[in-house]
């Protein structure tokens, strides 16, 4: 029964996707005498936590009940009071926790506080599933750097466009809808300057009630056209332009006056230092990024080790052309033993396409 109720809490946690960052996705269920009497989830950053919402929704007194919560109740004061204190005050008898707090500074303190007050505590129920749901939060809370998902769509023969540059659309409507949902769920979306110059994209999540990610343009020499959609439509989403000291100070000033934030990094191979950029974006609270860069930026991101997860949509099309673009180019690797290796692969049918998910072997 613990797994049954924890699955309910996990499903509740998923409702907060896109709204809680940089906080985790958390769900909670309260059970008394074999009946669910309260449910809640963390709905939005800065608002009440899952345990608070579940207790507030309870149809009867929660004294003596069992609380199922996907993540260890917090024990410190943040934007809200400690949830562990509320659990104690409400005289909940038992707490079942999906996984402990991954923050090394506070991990286990919530559990310790509950046990010291005589509350029965069980931990590790559906831990693997909960950790995957919160993979961005876990990396961010430990490293203070964003979790990066590299997304591409290609034909069966590995092309992302025809020899003339036509790329709309390699993937079908179902895949594109899924990508827009991912844009909503992650904090930022990052592309290279060539994508901006060629396609002039909006880089928004075009779904009902969707949250638009922060747009990040990697532009080493600050070539971005001032009329670009990502610059002119700041009412839809914030845009950050990452550049180097090779950029024109006059153009930096112009962009700043337009309300665009410009981040200047050191140079690495005459390009933006992506590792330094991740640290600076993490310091701004950006916990996750969807990398929809072109082939050159994709290679740089893989080479610099900033990519955590890969989403590749494989379309049942054959395009051909020795000069047609592929998903990763750059200088490439010289030996197969140095290839970027994926692990924990998960193929999923999405419409007519196959989505291949995998994690970089670091």
Q: What is the pLDDT of residue 166?
A: 77
Binding site, annotated residues for NADP(+): 153, 169, 195, 199, 220, 294-300
Known binding residues: 49, 74, 83, 153, 167, 169, 183, 195, 199, 203, 206, 220, 292, 294-300
CA-to-CA dists, residue 40 to 17, 18, 29, 54, 86, angstroms: 14, 17, 7, 4, 15
Nearest to 190 by CA among 278, 265, 308: 278
Q: Which residues are annotated as a binding site for Zn(2+)?
A: 49, 74, 83
Query: Are residue 107 and residue 215 in the same domain, yes or no?
Result: no
Report the run of H or E that residue 218 belongs to, with start and end.
strand 214-218
Average pLDDT over residues 126-155: 96
Which of the four pLDDT bands, split at 50, 70 and 90, describes residue 331? confident
156 and 268: one domain?
yes
d(CA 244, CA 265): 5
The answer to whether 295 and 327 have CB atoms below 8 angstroms apart is yes
100-122 CB burial, b ≥16 within 10 A, e <16: bbbbeeeeebbbebbeeeebebe
In a domain, 304, yes or no: yes
For residues 91 and 233, membership in a common domain is answered with no
- Write out pLDDT tens, residues 45-77: 989 999 999 999 999 999 999 999 999 987 765
Above 90 in pLDDT, residue 9?
yes
Angle value at C-alpha 127, between 123 and 131, nearest 5 degrees = 130
- The pLDDT of residue 74 is 79
Q: Tell me: do 159 and 111 sit in the same domain.
A: no
Question: What is the model's pLDDT at position 78?
Answer: 60
Query: What is the structure's pLDDT at 334?
Result: 87
Domain span at 227: 144-360
Whether pLDDT at 223 is above 70: yes
Give the percent of the chain with pLDDT over 90.
Answer: 76
Let me know whether 85 and 150 are in one domain: no
For 253-268, b/e burial (b = at least 16 CB within 10 A) is eebeeeebebbbbeeb
pLDDT tops 80 at residue 303: yes
Based on the domain organization, do 157 and 306 belong to the same domain? yes
- pTM passes above 0.85: yes
The average pLDDT across 29-53 equals 94
> Is the domain of 236 the same as that of 187?
yes
> How many domains does the chain contain in total?
2
- Is 46 within the bounds of a domain? yes
Output the average pLDDT for the chain: 92
Helices and strands, number each (H, E), in the chain: 12, 16
| Residues 150 and 204 grouped into a single domain | yes
> How far is Cα 151 from Cα 138, in angstroms, rounded to an integer?
20
Cβ burial, residue 84 (10 Å; 0-12/13-18/19+): buried
Q: What is the CATH number of the domain that holds 270?
A: 3.40.430.10
- The enclosing domain of 80 has a CATH number of 3.40.140.10
- 129 with 152, same domain? no
Instruction: Kindly state the tokens that stand for 294.
Output: 């072109």
* Same-domain status, 83 and 167: no
CA 98/CA 9 separation, integer angstroms: 9
Q: Which residue among the candidates 43, 51, 276, 357 is catalytic per the annotation?
A: 51
Where is the domain boundary, 112, 134, 156?
A: 134
Last residue of a domain, one of 78, 100, 134: 134
| 139 domain-assigned | no
Active site residue 51: yes
H or E element in which residue 67 lies: strand 66-71
Which residue do the tokens 């005050």 mark? 89
């Amino acid at each position: 029964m613990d797994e049954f109720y924890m699955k309910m809490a996990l499903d509740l946690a998923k409702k907060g996707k896109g709204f809680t960052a940089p906080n985790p996705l958390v769900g909670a269920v309260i059970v008394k005498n074999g009946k669910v009497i309260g449910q809640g989830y963390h709905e939005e950053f800065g608002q009440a936590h899952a345990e608070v919402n579940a207790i507030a929704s309870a149809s009867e007194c929660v004294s003596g009940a069992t609380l199922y919560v996907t993540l260890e109740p917090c024990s410190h004061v943040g934007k809200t009071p400690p949830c562990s204190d509320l659990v104690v005050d409400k005289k909940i008898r038992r707490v079942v926790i999906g996984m402990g707090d991954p923050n090394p500074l506070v991990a286990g303190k919530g559990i310790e506080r509950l046990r010291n007050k005589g509350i029965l505590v069980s931990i590790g129920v559906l831990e693997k599933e909960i950790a995957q749901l919160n993979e961005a939060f876990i990396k961010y809370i430990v490293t203070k750097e964003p979790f990066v998902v590299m997304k591409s769509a290609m034909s069966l023969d590995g092309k992302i466009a025809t020899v003339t540059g036509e790329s709309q659309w390699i993937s079908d409507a179902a895949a594109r809808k899924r990508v827009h949902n991912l844009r909503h769920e992650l904090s930022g979306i990052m592309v290279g300057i060539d994508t901006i110059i060629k396609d002039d994209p909006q880089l928004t999540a075009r779904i009902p009630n969707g949250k638009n990610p922060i747009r990040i343009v990697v532009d080493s020499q600050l070539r971005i056209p001032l009329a670009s959609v990502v610059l002119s439509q700041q009412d839809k989403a914030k845009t950050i332009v990452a550049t180097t000291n090779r950029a024109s100070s006059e153009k930096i000033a112009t962009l700043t006056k337009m309300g665009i934030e410009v981040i200047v990094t050191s140079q690495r191979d005459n390009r933006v230092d992506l590792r330094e950029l991740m640290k600076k974006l993490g310091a701004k609270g950006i916990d996750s990024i969807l990398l929809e860069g072109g082939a050159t930026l994709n290679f740089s991101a893989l080479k610099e080790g900033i990519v955590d997860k890969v989403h590749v949509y494989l379309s049942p099309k054959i395009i051909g052309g020795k000069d047609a673009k592929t998903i990763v180019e750059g200088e490439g690797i010289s030996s197969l033993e140095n290839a970027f290796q994926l692990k924990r692969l998960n193929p999923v049918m999405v419409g007519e396409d196959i989505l291949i998910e995998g994690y970089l072997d670091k």
